[in-house]
Amino acid sequence: MIRAAVGFHLTVGTRLDNGMRVTTFIGDDAGDQIYTYGIYEPATVRLVSERLDKETVFFDIGAYVGQYTLMAAPLTREVHCFEPTPWIYKILQSNVKRNKLNNVTANRQRFGKVRKKILEAGHSCAYQGSMSSRILSSASH
């Protein structure tokens, strides 16, 4: 177990339910559950996972440390994750690189700035959300 201070938050390295390596924060509900159980929001993760395939373009909005990004990447054509908070984005970016996910694009910006471009590109969007908004989008062919 590796712990390091990031700002005023303590981080810890662990693995997600799907085996991906992840650094998360401890001391908050999401991070504590990822560290303890390897998953946060297990019913939602399973529901979303069941709807993904190699043609899916997945958007993780408010990605935090990237649990949904890391879950979706091996199952989809590409993943675009968005985390506007700079110090959280660094952890997200590190998690993507650590797992060598070449089909993931991490964005340090709010999703609202790019939503229009996604729709203009011909993607259909279905929304689901809990702690933060997530968008599942399939390329229209």
Q: In the prediction, which pLDDT does 21 show?
A: 98
Q: In the prediction, which pLDDT does 46 show?
A: 95
User: What's the CATH code of the domain at 68?
Assistant: 3.40.50.150
State the CB neighbour count (10 A cutoff) for residue 64.
Answer: 24
Residue 33 falls inside a structural domain: no
Buried b (16+ CB within 10 A) or exposed e, 94-126: bbbeebebeebebbeeebeeeeeebeeeeeeee
Kindly tell me the sign of the dihedral angle through the C-alpha atoms of 44, 50, 53, 56.
negative
Q: In the prediction, which pLDDT does 9 show?
A: 78
What is the chain's pLDDT, residue by residue, as a tens digit (141 residues)?
Answer: 445 555 557 999 999 999 999 999 998 899 999 999 999 999 999 999 999 999 999 999 999 999 999 999 999 999 999 999 999 999 999 999 999 999 999 999 877 766 666 667 676 554 434 333 444 444 433
Asked if 87 and 6 touch (Cβ cutoff 8 Å), the reply is yes
Residue 100 falls inside a structural domain: yes
| 17 sits in which H/E element | none
Please give the residue range of the domain that contains residue 119: 41-139
Residue 8 falls inside a structural domain: no
Number of structural domains found in the chain: 1
Q: In the prediction, which pLDDT does 124 show?
A: 57
